[in-house]
Structure 1
Amino acid sequence: MKVTKKTLKNGIRVISSPSADTKSVAILFMVKTGSRNETKEVRGISHFLEHMVFKGTEKRPTAMRVAKDIESLGAINNAFTGKEQTGFFIKTTSDHFDKAVEILYDIVFNSTFEKENIETESKVILEEKKMYEENPLLYIDDLFEEVFFDDEKLSQGIIGTVNSIKGLRKKDFHTYLGKYYTAKNIAVSVAGDVPKNYLSVMDKYLSSIKAGKETGWESRKSNIGNQKIKVSYKDNFQSNLILGYQALKISDEKYNILSVLSGIIGGGMSSRLFQEVREKRGLAYSIHSETGAYSDGGYFEIEAGVDSSRAEEAVKVIVQELTLACDNLTEEELMISKERMKGSVAFSFEDSFNRANFYARREMYHQDLITEEELIKKIEKVDLLSVKKMAKEVFSQEPTLALIGPFKNKEKFVKILLRS
């Protein structure tokens, strides 16, 4: 189905990706702001605000009223915060489209941020913070980005610090909302069973939002050539690690090549690392590779949970496999990775929220709003030579290692990486 983009008079971009094969419609408001926009004093406010919009507006003064109004549509809803975007969505049926848009508009732009709600929710968020920091499987991602991005704003966690969370006040939320939640900073994506009058509905509720200006970020410094290791002590039988390399920004034309490489290295049960680290050596239960990307840079990472007594061996084996991949990738591996990617695209596009999210994110980074078929064609064009070249470009760099386990210093791991 055709993807269309319209722009309201105030600058809000509205993307429609209808599908005749679904009875649901997803409505996603995506705002170009996240933890990367925060100052030290209000660290965590992007995520905190995402929580607070469900606590009440003048029209819907309580969290219960908000919840009942959403659920009376037979809808599901949620929100999410990243380092460069924040999103709010409702998924419902098209006969409730108008009401769903009105509710989203009301809670996102008219929240009252009452003092008692802020105080209560700060306790909830502090518990969320503990949950992440006390679970190595969750915390390892934050630890890796903290060391990979060094002292840049991208290195700071999304949740914030204990002091910043406790210190946020009503005026802080209103100031932040007024600065970043402006029309030119917003993309609205609707997908699935999209009603014909979707644009007039958007105009009815969103045209009053002030235009503002689109968010920009300071260019970050490259950390190519810098080996970094961070070890966080935890007396566990299993250690969690991420080994990562500098890679591509999200809008890079070669990103599909990087994704195909990731599939070969650690994308499934037939992948190199799964076979070598888990199946042959029994070093890990879970191991996979993936890519992470932002507006001006990204990384290729391998994440694993390994036997603590064999963590050094695991790191050695992973590095060895990445070195081998620079020269001996095969056509069969290429084919399997590409087919897995094509299948993943097809499965994802069956869901209306996934479609809405895909197009909202592409619009945030000013990428072409390509169709599912066009995306699959791009994957099909990836050849073995380009993947080998990508492997050499990525794995020839100095790596970053983040590790949580019973290790009191990092020297043994420094030596392993120096020999790689």
Structure 2
Amino acid sequence: MPEFFQDTLANGLRVITVPMPHLHAAEMMFFFNVGSRHEASEVAGVSHFLEHMLFRGNRDYPTGPDLERAFEAIGGYVNAATDIETTCYHSRLHPAHLDQATKLFAAMLRYPLLRDLETERRVILEEALEDLNEQGEEINPDTLGARLLWPDHPLGRPPIGSRQTIEAMRLEDLERHWTQYYTPHNLVAVAAGRVEHGAFVAAVSKHFGSWQGSPAPAAQVFNEPTESPGPHSRWVRDSGSQVSLQLAFRGPGRQDERSLALRVLRRVLSGGGSARLMLRLREELGLTYGVEAQLMQTAETGALAIDLSLAPENLEQALDEVLRLLEELCTTPVPEEELAAVVRAFLYELEFSCDFTEELAARYGWGEAVGNLRTLDRERREIAGITAELLQQMARQIFRRESLCLAVVGPWRDEVSRRVTRRLKAFRP
């Protein structure tokens, strides 16, 4: 049986179904290929702002509570998320109400009223305050790191925008963004669970088939800088008992043939309690409660980032240990037994994902939206070709001093900052 089924309507809208007939629920998602990387600097955050506004009512359900109650009546709950590249609207639902759920999403996405702008502006400003300290400085290590990794580019901005752009957002900005990017050519509809492909295609055709629009504008491409090589760092003082830091390296995008090797390398560092970062920093040295390596990839660029929080007096030692672990990956192949355990865990997670509608809907829907649809079968086949030598090559290519970026937030001391900066400059894996 195929993993998924796919059709494209005459208006360009792509429809994907992931049959899971043994389940009692379904997940419906609508992915627009638009996020913060598609925004001009003066309207930074408009994708996220528009996502919020679509919950403020539409032609058929004039208020947000009206829309919420309609989704609840079919066993669902409607939610959404905006990231760098996509905006996703989603809901769980009872399979008997496939057509009604599709109708609700059509009303929401095609006929928004875009009203109560000032009320929603206040809500978003409250959300934005979570990443600022009392002086109004940015204290989110993810955002600070992104600005270092992708300077002067939309990828370096947070999806929520800034306080200034949120306060300046106009109704005309939202309407223009909706017109440009909320088009059937730019949309993928996906349903996973106890659903039949023909029924879902019929429902989407019924409620979205008359929608017309032009292809959306392309995002600004990021080009590797030719000047000002790293390491780069940003230190922000903030009150608290811990220091939060992110150590990141810019790397290849998801279209790169080395992408899977990079994903496996991340798991070597951070794939559970026995992975290298947790084993060394927590279990052996007791320097932190938790440490995590994250991988973010767009079409043309990406980053592997290591995040942790710890007591200020542990900052130097922890960072030095992280750099040693990275240097070791560049000089010594991963032992066969360790690699086998990482691959086994990877395959288990693929198998486990088959029990979750939201995971499969996101895999195929998001993958199609960004042009990177990877089937479970493809993942299984390609993971078999990952070798210790390939991981070592990948480590040498990504863990380079020139692409190293460090963001530190908390009660750090000047002398610590100076010593850490010298250590970063001496990093030569």
Q: Moved runs in structure 1, 4+ residues, more than 4 A?
A: 134-138
Task: Give 2:174's aligned residue.
Answer: 173
Structure 2 distance, partners of 1:35, 1:230, is 22
- SS class of match (1:60): coil
Given the alignment, which residue of 346, 350, 356 partners 2:355? 350
Between the aligned partners of 1:393 and 1:280, the Cα distance in structure 2 is 28
Partners of 1:128 and 1:346 lie apart in 2 by 36
Percent identity, please.
Answer: 26
- Runs (5+) with no aligned partner, structure 2: none
**Structure 1 contact 267–290 (Cα < 8 Å) conserved:** no
Give the Å deviation of 1:13. Answer: 1.0
Identify the residue that residue 308 of structure 1 maps to in structure 2.
312
Q: Which amino acid aligns with 1:413?
A: V
In structure 2, the partner of 1:389 is 393
Q: Which residue of 238, 244, 247 corresponds with 1:243?
A: 247
SS in 2 for 1:113: coil
Whether 2:97 is the aligned partner of 1:93: answer no
Aligned partner of residue 366 in structure 1, secondary structure: coil
Change (3 A) 1:392 1:4: same
Decide which moves more: 404-413 or 285-294.
404-413
Match of 2:204 in 1: 202
Alignment of 1:60 onto 2:61: yes
Structure 1 stretch displaced more, 313-322 or 124-133: 124-133
Q: Distance in 2 between matches of 1:341 and 1:397?
A: 29
Deviates more, 1:342-351 or 1:79-88: 342-351
Offset at 1:218? 2.4
Contact kept, 8 Å, 1:251 with 1:365, in 2: the verdict is no
Which amino acid is the alignment partner of residue 70 of structure 1? F
Pair 1:415-2:416 in alignment: no
When the two chains are superposed, the root-mean-square deviation of aligned CA atoms in Å is: 1.9
**Aligned length, in residue pairs:** 417
Stretches of structure 1 lacking an aligned partner (at least 5 in a row):
none
SS at match of 1:61: coil
Question: What's the counterpart of residue 220 of structure 1?
Answer: 222
1:112 aligns with 2:113: yes
Normalised to the residue count of structure 1, the TM-score between the two structures is 0.94
What does the per-residue CA deviation read over 1:133-162, in whole Å, with 9 as the maximum and x for residues that have no partner?
A: 359998221221122111111111111122
Contact 2:293 2:304 in 1 (8 A): yes
Match of 1:345, as an amino acid?
L
Alpha-carbon distance in structure 1 between the residues aligned to 2:33 and 2:328: 40
Structure 2 letter corresponding to 1:207: G
1:320 aligns with 2:324: yes
Q: State whether residues 231 and 404 of structure 1, in contact with CA within 8 Å, keep that contact through their aligned partners in structure 2.
A: yes
- Amino acid aligned to 1:219: V
Supply the distance in 2 between the matched residues of 1:77 and 1:339 (Cα, whole angstroms).
35
Structure 2 Cα separation of the partners of residues 41 and 147 of structure 1: 20
2:130 aligned with 1:131: yes
**Structure 1 residue identity aligned to 2:106:** Y
Is structure 2 residue 372 aligned with structure 1 residue 367? yes
* SS of equivalent to 1:284: coil
Aligned mates of 2:49, 2:373 — CA distance in 1: 31
1:184-221 deviation digits (Å, cap 9, x = unpaired): 11111221112341111111111122231144222212
Q: 1:133 aligns to what SS in structure 2?
A: coil
What amino acid is aligned across from residue 391 of structure 1 in structure 2?
A
Higher mean Cα deviation, 125-134 or 296-305?
Answer: 125-134
Q: Give the Å deviation of 1:242.
A: 0.9
Tell me the TM-score normalized by structure 2.
0.93
